[in-house]
Amino acid sequence: MSQIKKGAVLNYVTIFLTNVIGILLTPFIIRKLGDAEYGVYVAIGAVVGTISVLDFGLNNTIVRFVAKYKAEKDKKGEENFLATTMLIYFFISLFVLLFGFFFYGQIDGYFDKMNADQLQIAKTIFIILIFNLSISLPGGAFTGICLGYEQFVFPKAINIIRYLLRAIILVAILLLGGKAIALVILDTIFNILIIISTMTFVFKKLKVKFKLHKFSSVFVKQIFSYSVWIFIYGLVAQFQWRAGHIVLGGISFPEVLAIYAVGLMLGSYYGAFSSAITGVFLPRATQMTVSEATPEELTNMMIKIGRISFIVLIYILGAFILYGKQFVFLWVGETYHDAWVIGLMIMLAYTIPLVQGFTGSIIEAQNKVAFKSIVYLIFMSLGTLLGYFLAKRFGALGMISGSICGWVIAQNIMNIYYYRVLKLNLFRFFKELFYKTLPIQLIVMVLGYFINLFPGDGWLNFGLKSICYTLIFATLMYYFGIIHSEKLLVKNTINNLSKSIKK
């Protein structure tokens, strides 16, 4: 099995573990911390996460340039590029620390809905997370190198180990009376260990070297001419996932932040399933670009990846529409009803952008990120502004509604760009995307509705409904919804997994 296929499989293992562990631990964490402290925990995490955009897109830049140098067999150029980026990272980390020091003094004034104890917790968490971020940014470069070399197995495998160990230790900490600060310290320790392990793999296994053969301001300008647009697109991601926390943090109580955080968590889990596939294709898109692949060839790859993503996503979306409310009520309680609505709104708006995820890899590989970054930045900013006004009246639901409006408009504009500039055949893409899959899913939803009429409301009832839905979906989709090549992919994946287990 190739590194790409293994990477995709390990991505799904990671996502499965992350989602399952998150689903199991979230209600436990909320109960141990309380709604208010959990709200503080996620709010400060969102603030520091926003500061992480100061990476300036260098991590993605590393993946793209390392893949390029590797394809061109330019070892000297690679060494010089990596040494230059590490110098840049040094100054970025220094700036993060200075920026963190400045924002620390503003915490009291901004989060004015928090009491004195909550503010003290917020400040302590902020200091630890800023330190964490200052080492994470340069440390992430080593993961970028692995991806540029299409070495997906090691970074994915070590992350799986981290998730498992973190979950076990986190439970122990909370049972012993630990609070939010202890969780942040735990994550920082694991982060340091991951960086050291990945660094060792890059130097020892991949034999990568950092050597500044020649420092050139022109070269730095070339790096930033690419990465600046990744940076701007990173700002979009912050508006998409974190701006709501920051906006609500200034006008709402921590309990509202907790509900919003759970809703976004559900939406991010959904997106992760698709990203597991598209995330391993940036190096391949770069290679196709270097070899001057035609728009038709890129469309074919987009359809191939998009159909797999779509099948996975409609399974999850259908289940969440039918049984999501029951799950959320059982999971974190009926007071989190709005979290289900937020999660559902994100999933509905996010599905088409996710199945078109390969376009992101194409744009990055062709160094055409500028237009996408500007479009999304403008409309996500406007969406966040709209969300601010709506949140004053409708709280968390108002915030997410504004964000989604900006998101949907930007995506429609980008579809025109994909069609006219990248010359991707979107009409054929959507035709083949929905071929067989959409009619079968509609049948599954009708049958799933009748399954939902089963009497009862506990975990056993939810589990029986989910199993029935899954069996119906898998059976109908396999025999009537997928095409021949996808059936072969399913069979080969099962056979490879069986062989791996037997070994």
Residue 119 belongs to some domain of the structure: yes
Residue 477 belongs to some domain of the structure: no
The distance from CA 294 to its chain's CA centroid, rounded to whole angstroms, is 29
Domain interval for residue 376: 3-435
Contact 280, 12 (CB under 8 A): no
**DSSP per-residue string spanning 465-497:** HHHHHHHHHHHHIIIIIS-HHHHHHHHHHHHHH
Residue 478 belongs to some domain of the structure: no
Residue 72 belongs to some domain of the structure: yes
Name the domain count of the chain: 1
Contact 353, 408 (CB under 8 A): no
Rounded alpha-carbon distances, angstroms, from residue 473 to 12, 74, 370? 19, 48, 40
Residue 487 belongs to some domain of the structure: no
Contact 295, 348 (CB under 8 A): no
| Residue 451: both structure tokens together | 């399954």
Low-confidence ranges of the chain (pLDDT < 50): none
Q: What is the pLDDT of residues 409-454, one digit of tens each?
A: 999 999 999 999 888 999 999 999 999 999 999 999 999 999 988 8
pLDDT of residue 395: 86
In the block, tokens 């289900």 appear at 340
To the nearest 10 degrees (0 to 180), the angle between helices 75-104 and 116-148 is 170
Residue 283 belongs to some domain of the structure: yes
Q: What is the pLDDT of residues 344-377, one digit of tens each?
A: 999 999 899 888 887 877 787 777 777 888 888 8
Residue 446 belongs to some domain of the structure: no
Residue type (1 letter), 274: S
pLDDT of residue 427: 93
CA distance 229 to 245: 24
Residue 491 belongs to some domain of the structure: no
The distance from CA 442 to its chain's CA centroid, rounded to whole angstroms, is 28
Tell me, what DSSP letter sits at residue 207? -
Query: pTM of the full predicted structure?
Result: 0.73
Rounded alpha-carbon distances, angstroms, from residue 30 to 25, 179, 344? 9, 10, 21
The distance from CA 345 to its chain's CA centroid, rounded to whole angstroms, is 17
- Helices then strands (H, E): number in the chain? 21, 0
Sign of CA dihedral 62, 65, 71, 72: negative
